[in-house]
Structure 1
């Protein structure tokens, strides 16, 4: 089931408004009914401009007509003109404060504009009128997740599952909720439940999410099949390519990781993070000149501590310890909580026979709460 399917309910519900016997209507009301039905038919067919014309004709007959105001809101929302859509929904709510469709649309506009607090406020009003609408419940739960209200978000997702067992949107949302709070095992269980429900048509984002859980808990070999399956659906999907490269990196299969780093760079050659990762892979494979080239390419885009760290390690591989130490000293103030910088710099200083400076560096290392057996041995020798 595709995540996008959840949006199909946005406009369909309006059809219920028009189950009226036309013979019982006055001529103007009958005209409004016809224009409304035609407008929503056009909207579902993505003939948005024509739909807008129909709804505006209704306003010429009845300037406060709720069907037309909501219809115009829906049309502009579908055009992603959320500010204009908001105006029509708010005008409708001015005259009809309890109009569910206007509340739904207005909240969705605020969500699209990343104003989750306002979206929540409006969706909560909607739920006072209808607290069993799973589409709204999942949207509110999503919004609470965005503002890091774990408790309320989980409560609403679970409410959806009470109404509709194994609802995929609630399961997906619960997965993201637990993932956001670094509870990767629980997140995995929810996303796997989505997979069990429909293995053949599972959304690509579920596949990459499961893969990312395995990355986080370092079961890299188990994450690879999910990223590969995601690539079957979209061969250029960044998250799948990144996930695969990072899984192979975690397995120390640098040759295979490089395949996917390079694939990303084919589509995004100026991604400094990926250039640095590719540089790391070349360095691990002993291709020092190639690694140096990629680190410089990253630095030509923007300053990057990891690219400088990579260049320092290139210098170390060439036994150019002073150059390596100078590079590492330049980034230590920028990233003082990175233990790898201390470890590599200490090693360079030992090679340069700078014992007092090494000792001062390692004292700072331990003062920051870092632990490393190799560094402990170095410290003991210095004492």
Structure 2
């Protein structure tokens, strides 16, 4: 029965989003009848909105969508309701329906910032960097224009409660990937004014400095992230990599073990060392990973074999360079 209701709601969502019907009054209605009908519609819409919001607050997302769709029947061009439906469909993991709702909102208003932000994040998750970059850049530019910034290309105005913070964060990450690190850092610093103790922003800012080999500053931001949230895994892993790079293996192992098993921790550190050309050290970590879990991934043994091949090649090269006795 529950699956039937869910399927029914999904089908209604699709029908109403793309076959929105407008209801009106006949030309023969008296002025008083028109006024009465108008009043009833307003009351009905307000009532449906209240019910939908209550259901949303109680995590009854399918029921909330059903009532928001009924509101949408009264005004098919309500971008806020279309966005609400898309956001709730996202929570239900109905991605296709969510995207259709966001696109419908953008058909009504191509500059509707919340929908633009969601589309940008959607494309980034699917690794479509060109579209993600385009949507997120437009989102940030429009929001800054809303805040009366006339020089968006070089500076930013402080954000407010309406600003799409996640979109700013993701856009900064994209700029880091595009090697525009200074610009990305400006956005992260901007976000920290609004999100003063955000483990996510601190971690992304740390990674921005990591990318330009400023490991000292990167480490400080990772530590700030863990001060803000001691369980934030990405900060632990990124800080662990700095410890590996600095040869502080015990500290790295301790951090990695908080996120994964002993075997996985030693294997991942070994893999990083192998990529860095530190084969002898990598060999030790791969061997230790296998000792912790003899049945541990086949990849642990494969990594060990690969690093031993590199070591053998190095030894052969060194021998060839030795002068004859």
Quick check: TM above 0.5?
yes
CA contact (8 A) 2:262 2:289 kept: no
Q: CA deviation at 1:220?
A: 3.9
Q: What TM-score results when the alignment is normalised by the length of structure 2?
A: 0.62
Q: Is the 8 A contact 1:321 1:348 kept in 2?
A: yes
User: How far did residue 328 of structure 1 move?
Assistant: 4.9
Deviations 1:286-337 (A, max 9, x none): 2x23x42232244156527763235436987593565323245468987778
Q: Say if 1:282 and 1:263 are closer, same or farther in 2 by CA, change over 3 A.
A: same
| Equivalent residue in structure 1 for 2:280, among 319, 331, 336 | 319
- Post-superposition offset of 1:206: 3.9
- The equivalent of 1:308 in structure 2 is 266
Q: 1:269 is paired with a residue of what secondary structure?
A: coil
> Structure 1 residues 144 and 297, CA, compared in 2 at 3 Å: closer, same or farther?
closer
When Rg is computed on C-alpha atoms for both structures, the one with the higher figure is 1
Call closer, same or farther: CA 1:346–1:180 in 2, change over 3 Å: same
Change (3 A) 1:241 1:342: farther
Q: 2:304 aligns with which of 331, 342, 345?
A: 345
Match of residue 104 from structure 2: 156
User: What is the Cα deviation at residue 255 of structure 1?
Assistant: 2.3
Task: Check the 8 A contact 1:325/1:349 in 2, yes or no.
Answer: no
Equivalent residues in 2 for 1:83-122, closer than 5 Å: 99-122=44-67
Q: Which moved more, 1:167-176 or 1:304-313?
A: 304-313
For structure 2, the residue ranges without an aligned partner over 5 or more in a row are: 1-40, 150-156, 314-325
Q: Paired residue for 1:281, among 235, 239, 242?
A: 242
Deviation per CA, 1:143-179, whole angstroms, max 9, x where unpaired?
34442125512332214416xxx34333333433434
User: Residues 117 and 307 of structure 1: is their aligned pair in 2 closer, same or farther, counting only changes over 3 Å?
Assistant: same
**Which residue pairs with 2:74 in the alignment?**
129
Alignment of 1:6-45 (within 5 A): none
Deviation of residue 278 (structure 1)?
0.8
Contact 1:215 1:247 in 2 (8 A): yes
Measured against aligned partners, the alpha-carbon deviations of 1:40-72 in whole angstroms (never above 9, x if no partner) come to xxxxxxxxxxxxxxxxxxxxxxxxxxxxxxxxx
TM-score, scaled relative to structure 1: 0.53
Q: For structure 1, which runs of at least 5 residues remain unmatched after alignment?
A: 1-95, 356-383
Residues in 1 aligned to 2:172 and 2:86: alpha-carbon distance in whole angstroms: 24
The corresponding residue for 2:87 is 142
Give how far 1:201 is off: 4.5
Q: 1:295 aligns with which of 253, 256, 280?
A: 253
- Determine if the alignment matches structure 1 residue 268 to structure 2 residue 229: yes
Structure 1 residue 241: Cα displacement: 0.7
Looking at structure 1, the residues matched to 302 and 298 of structure 2 have their Cα atoms a distance apart, in angstroms, of 12
Deviates more, 1:309-318 or 1:238-247: 309-318
Q: Is the 8 A contact 2:206 2:222 kept in 1?
A: yes
Q: In the alignment, what sits opposite 1:253? A: 214
Q: Which residue of 2 aligns with 1:188?
A: 136
Which residue in 2 is equivalent to 1:72? none
CA distance in 1 between partners of 2:107 and 2:296 (Å): 46
Distance 1:268 1:306, change over 3 A: farther
For residue 230 of structure 2, give the secondary structure of its aligned residue in structure 1: coil
Change (3 A) 1:333 1:213: farther
Q: Is the 8 A contact 1:273 1:298 kept in 2?
A: no
In the aligned structure 2, how far is the partner of 1:333 from the partner of 1:157?
52
1:197 to 124, 128, 146: 146
Q: CA contact under 8 A between 1:308 and 1:327: conserved in structure 2?
A: yes
User: Per the alignment, in what secondary structure is the counterpart of residue 95 of structure 2?
Assistant: coil
Q: What is the number of residues matched between the two proteins?
A: 249
Distance 1:305 1:218 in 2: 34
> Does 1:227 pair with 2:188?
yes
